[in-house]
Structure 1
Amino acid sequence: MSQVHVRNLQKSYQVPVRETGLKALRGVIRRQHSTVEAIRDISFDIEPGEVVGFIGPNGAGKTTTLKILSGLLHPTAGEVRVAGEIPWERRGDYLRQISMVMGNKSQVMWDIPSLDSYAVLGEIYRIPSSELQRRIDELAAMLGVTDLIAKPVRMLSLGERMKCELVASLLHQPAVLFLDEPTLGLDVSVQRRLREFIREYNRRTGATIILTSHYMADVEALCSRLIVIHEGKLIYDGALAGLLEKLAPFKLIRLTLDGDHADGALDLPPQAELIERENGTITLRASRADTSAVTARLLGALPVVDLAVENPPIEAVIDQIYTGGTV
């Protein structure tokens, strides 16, 4: 059985139409409304233990979908099962199996130490005190916050607070974890540590994780599968590698030549396209099928000091999707 099952999910809102000038007087007498379709007939399944990137531009419907899956919103239409339960029924058995972390929301209280918030959560989830302490110690050690959880939350940096939030969200050992922009506003070092923790937590527990993020480094590091939505519609569901091959069927070859030849004429293979030449570094583009042959010829014909073969930046591929609205 799928851990997350979504069929023909729809969510629409009635919003007031706000007009200006004399037309605004009509709203006093008779308010006009328009329908906004936040989610348009999307379907997917996620298996136990999968880590799936759920991405799309701002306003695509990502957070709305996560709120439906976590039971915070009712859908307009469609079928949803998470861990075998209907989320918006908010049954206790269901709530004990899920957790949601939002980068701009907090569940550890501001003026008291995180430890006190954990004690409250332990009572809510009916975790025996000895087991609660064991879980706190384990999670705090994994995240490197053992010395911080006894300090008032207001004294912590944003990155430290986010780590304490993760501890709070995982105390009841959820089977399904929704992560909505968990690295929002964090510096590069803290982002990397959080990614390592999420990967290790998934490996240890087998939790199913759905991640939304505008930082493509999060997606690349954690997710082998992507679900992409645009204007509420699902436009891609598959492997990250498959998306790159479909939208960017080429590789970038970066090479540095010996200093005496760095600015000289180049004898390039016909399959290679020169993209950039700057400060002694040359960037070429070749189809994936031709990359090996092009690389071999470059190494044989030119005084190469360094050579690297790379995929195109995933940000460029994702921007291509967001701009065109299709895959």
Structure 2
Amino acid sequence: MLAIDVNDLRKEFQIQKTREGLKGAIRDLFNREYSQVTAVKDISFQIKKGEICGYIGENGAGKSTTIKMLTGILVPTSGSIKVNGYIPHKEREAFVKGIGVVFGQRSQLWWDIGVIESFQLLKKVYRVSEAEFKPRLSELVERLQLSDLLNRPVRKLSLGQRMRCELAASLLHNPQILFLDEPTIGLDIVVKTEIREFLKSMNQRFETTILLTTHDLQDIEALCSRVIMLDDGRIIYDGGLAELKEKWGKGKDIILRFAEAVQLERLQELTSGMEVHWSVDDEWTARVWIPQNKANVSEVLSRVVGVMSIEDIQITQMETDDIVREIYQSGSAVAKPTYRNESDSGQASQEKEVAPHA
């Protein structure tokens, strides 16, 4: 069953041009000129019930515009949207009962009154019965550790405290779909971890569908199995996070600290026939580069460990942030980078070639 169904969605804005100087300002009063900006360009995607999907992109890529159309705040220029079976901007009253929304930089709580009073007001807005509200509130207060915050005005809360309250507010009516726009922006690592764990548990218990937009890719890694990547209003990737890493990952760099002096020629001899590349940092330290899908890490290590004494091993690989950055620089997730390592004066170097993905 689909929770979100988007087909050929497009959003255009008319932006007023402004002329310079006093004369220009006067002319703008009587003869305005506009330019057309297309924020979202004919995108299509479907999200199943109970799925947690990451929706990512650079600033201005069209993420927030999409979320505003999905939540009924903006009306699409063309295309179709169905969320929980409703058209958001047409069936607003029935539609909002089944969704929860958290905008990281905007609050749905009333600034000068206590948190519990905001919750009571939202209970009336969403028409939640007292029998449903009490146990739901108790659970949210316990899980998000809000008991000491309920009687404080929202303006006196820290950012982390307010975001926990915002999450509770968005879930008071037990929505089927939760839209999160930068929910962990500006938060410390402890609060981020708490929020991530809470969202995972809500998804598992209630099959809450979550669409998450964020610049923090650790949120994506912690929560999402699928990611939709947007660039200049178009979808450039829609698929699994593991598949993205597999497709764009360059390989692994392993640093080995030996108990005795080591020679480059000996290491190359031990891994003869394998597509790996060795370099020596100093008399006791060497590193081996294992290109993606070219050799198995355990096999490389077994050949060395069986012969030489190793004191320490460190394995590093390309981070998700680096992968996403490289995709945006290329402008497409269709092309796959391939890497060839060559030894240059005892140091490993990389030469990048871009080839179409088969």
Tell me if TM exceeds 0.5.
yes
* 2:304 aligned counterpart, secondary structure: helix
Q: Does the alignment pair 1:265 with 2:263? A: yes
CA offsets, 1:274-295, max 9 Å, x none?
A: 5895995846343234133323
**1:257–1:302 CA contact under 8 A, matched in 2:** no
Distance 1:67 1:168 in 2: 19
Residue of structure 1 equivalent to 2:324? 318
- Structure 2: how far apart are the matches of 1:76 and 1:96? 25
Taking structure 1 as the reference length, the TM-score comes to 0.91
**Across the two proteins, how many residue pairs are aligned to each other?**
324
Structure 2 residue identity aligned to 1:152: P
CA 1:301–1:253 in 2, change beyond 3 Å: closer, same or farther?
farther
What secondary structure is seen at the aligned counterpart in 2 of 1:167?
Answer: helix
Aligned partner of residue 137 in structure 1, secondary structure: helix
Question: Whole-Å Cα distance in 1 between the matches of residues 294 and 114 of structure 2?
Answer: 57
Change (3 A) 1:275 1:8: farther
Pair 4,189 (structure 1): closer, same or farther in 2 beyond 3 Å: same
> Pairwise mapping of residues 200-279 of structure 1 onto structure 2 (< 5 A)?
200-248=201-249, 250-258=250-258, 260-261=260-261, 264-266=262-264, 267-268=267-268, 269=271, 271-273=275-277, 277=281
Query: 1:300 offset after TM fit, Å?
Result: 3.0
- How far apart, in 2, do the equivalents of 1:281 and 1:103 lie? 45
Gap change, CA 1:277 and 1:35, over 3 Å in 2: farther
Checking the alignment, whether the CA contact within 8 Å between 2:6 and 2:81 is kept in structure 1 is yes
Conserved 8 A contact 1:247-1:317? yes
Query: Match for 1:225: what amino acid?
Result: R
Structure with the largest fraction of strand: 2
Given the alignment, which residue of 288, 298, 304 partners 1:298? Answer: 304
How many angstroms apart in 1 are the aligned matches of 2:280 and 2:7? 46
Partner amino acid, structure 1, of 2:10: Q
The answer for unaligned runs of 5 or more in structure 2 is 334-358
Counterpart CA distance in 2 for 1:171 and 1:276 is: 59
Local SS of the residue matching 1:88? coil
Percent identity between the aligned chains? 39
CA distance in 1, matches of 2:133, 2:177: 19
**Equivalent AA in structure 2 for residue 3 of structure 1:** A
- In the aligned structure 1, how far is the partner of 2:160 from the partner of 2:152? 14
* 2:161 matched residue in structure 1: 160
Specify the code of the residue in structure 1 equivalent to 2:239. Answer: G
Instruction: Tell whether 2:90 aligns with 1:89.
Output: yes
Structure 1 residues 272 and 164 mapped into 2: Cα distance closer, same or farther (>3 Å)? same
Q: What amino acid maps onto 1:186 in structure 2?
A: L
Higher alpha-carbon deviation: 303-312 or 134-143: 303-312
| 1:276–1:89 Cα change, 3 Å | farther
* Equivalent in the alignment of 2:348: none
- Code of the residue aligned with 1:300 in structure 2: it is G
Q: State TM-score, norm by structure 2.
A: 0.84
CA distance in 1, matches of 2:280, 2:184: 33
| Aligned positions of 1:1-327 closer than 5 A | 1-20=1-20, 24=24, 27-248=28-249, 250-258=250-258, 260-261=260-261, 264-266=262-264, 267-268=267-268, 269=271, 271-273=275-277, 277=281, 282=287, 284-292=289-297, 293-327=299-333
RMSD: 2.3
Gap change, CA 1:143 and 1:274, over 3 Å in 2:
farther
Which structure has the larger Rg over C-alpha atoms?
Answer: 2
Confirm or deny: 8 A CA contact 1:251 1:291 kept in the other structure: no
C-alpha contact 1:52 1:211 (8 A) present in aligned 2: yes
My pick for the range that moved more, 116-125 or 264-273, is 264-273
Note if contact 1:177-1:208 (Cα within 8 Å) is conserved in structure 2.
yes
The higher relative CO (CA closer than 8 Å, separation ≥ 6) is in 1
Structure 1 residue 27 displacement after superposition: 3.9
Q: Distance in 2 between matches of 1:272 and 1:5?
A: 45
Uncovered stretches (5+) of structure 1, i.e. residues with no partner: none
Amino acid of the residue matched to residue 212 of structure 1? Answer: T
**Match of 1:3, SS?**
strand
1:98-147 C-alpha deviation (Å, 9 max, x unpaired): 11101101112222221110111111122222421211110111112222
For 2:87, give the aligned amino acid.
Answer: I
